[in-house]
Amino acid sequence: MTTTTEKPVFTRPQTLTDRPMAYCPGCGHGIVQTLMAGIIDELGIREKTVGVAPVGCAVETYNYFNIDMSEAAHGRVPAVATGIKRARPDLVVFGYQGDGDLASIGLAEIMHAANRGENYTTIFINNTVYGMTGGQMAPTTLAHQKTQTTPLGRDPETTGHPMRMSEIIATLDSPCLVARCAADTIPNIRKTRALLLKAFQYQLAGQGFSFIEILCTCPTHWHLSPKDSMDYIGRVLTPIFPCKTFRDRGAGHEG
């Protein structure tokens, strides 16, 4: 008789609370937050990390991170994150925002925080639609994409084209890291993790503002299955929102 000793290849990060996530099946938030939790564990910064999230799907973040969290009014994450980081520069601060929050009501906030080069990290979840509030058109909604408020598809002549936030942020001189990635395939998820790790490392080194945009799924409001939603990112979103590093000036690197 032989016995087999199994070795764990993955364990839940201590920064994640031990509770089921309430996100819709196939939602990308769970992937990103698991990556973030693993990075916080790896860097050994759990006891000094503070997250800031607004209303919307991001509000669920408080339930899953075993760290201090602060809630911000809709779109006001950059103001709250700036205040925390300036008052306590020894802390590691991140803002976690969706596209409706960051690119609509919070547009002025994020632009000025980036322009000032505030030394905190922004994680920007782009799924091209308002999620928790019912699937309305967001600033990142694609041309001709159907939403609750554009049932015939977004008309660029009356509502404009999707805003490419990474490209816009990258026009500013102060940010040290601006990049877009995706949480769809294993290779892309690994690239996403590497960029998130770099963003936290740059903050620890006092390098300034980092902006990581992550293309994520929203099966519920895209009206697609989880698998088809993953395919949709590569087939439809990335041609409009290319995944690349637009700026990398941290740790003495000029990019």
Tell me: the pLDDT tens digits for 129-187?
998 888 899 999 999 999 999 999 999 999 999 999 999 999 999 999 999 999 999 99
Tell me: the pLDDT tens digits for 12-32?
899 999 999 999 999 999 999
What 3-state DSSP class applies to 140? coil
pLDDT at 2: 64
Token pair of 152, please?
A: 């015939």
Tell me: the pLDDT tens digits for 28-54?
999 999 999 999 999 999 999 999 999
Handedness of CA 52, 57, 62, 67 (dihedral sign): negative
Closest CA to 34 of 23, 210, 7: 23
Residue 41 · residue 65 · CB < 8 Å? no
Beta bridge partners of 122: 95, 211
pLDDT at 183: 96
CB 254: neighbour CB atoms within 10 A? 7
With 0.85 as the threshold, say if the pTM is over it.
Answer: yes
pLDDT at 139: 95
Instruction: Give the Cα separation of 40 and 55 in Å (integer).
Output: 23
**What are the structural domains of the chain?**
29-252 (3.40.50.970)
Q: Please, which residues have CB within 8 angstroms of residue 67's CB and are 6 or more apart in sequence?
A: 15, 40, 46, 49, 50, 51
Q: Tell me the HSE value of 190 on the side-chain side, using a 13 A CA sphere.
A: 3
pLDDT at 255: 45
